[in-house]
Amino acid sequence: MKKKTRRNYDAGFKTRVVLEAIKESKTLAELASELSIHPNQIRNWKNEFLEKAAIIFDDHKDDKEELKCLKEERDRLHQRIGEQSMDIDFLKKNLKKLNLL
């Protein structure tokens, strides 16, 4: 008995299938048999597509604000790293002068 392998479809293929399903020029069963995909799979892709469609038109204000905060935090951390690096170099230099290193 041969084990079936799971097929993976890329996003472009899924999008074409969903758009064809949304057009409703063919029934899900016809489309599924034409593409050798189970109708429930097309239905799932279509539902997921429609649920996430609003994201495209979202202005992403929250994302922009979060990105700004993350950039500011990154800059603060880089500054702190620079300061600590200078402190370490200063301490090494002075410890060498005192023959402690």
* Phi, psi torsion values for 99, nearest 5 degrees: 55, 35
Which two structure tokens, joined as six digits, stand for 82?
């620079």
Residue 88 scores a pLDDT above 90:
yes
CA gyration radius for the chain?
Answer: 29
Using a pLDDT cut of 90, give the percent of the chain over it.
75
The domain spans of the chain are 7-58, 59-101
Model-level pTM greater than 0.85?
Answer: no
Q: What is the pLDDT of residue 11?
A: 94
38: three-class secondary structure by DSSP:
coil
Q: What is the pLDDT of residues 21-76, one digit of tens each?
A: 999 999 999 999 999 999 999 999 999 999 988 888 877 777 888 999 999 999 99
Q: What is the pLDDT of residue 101?
A: 76
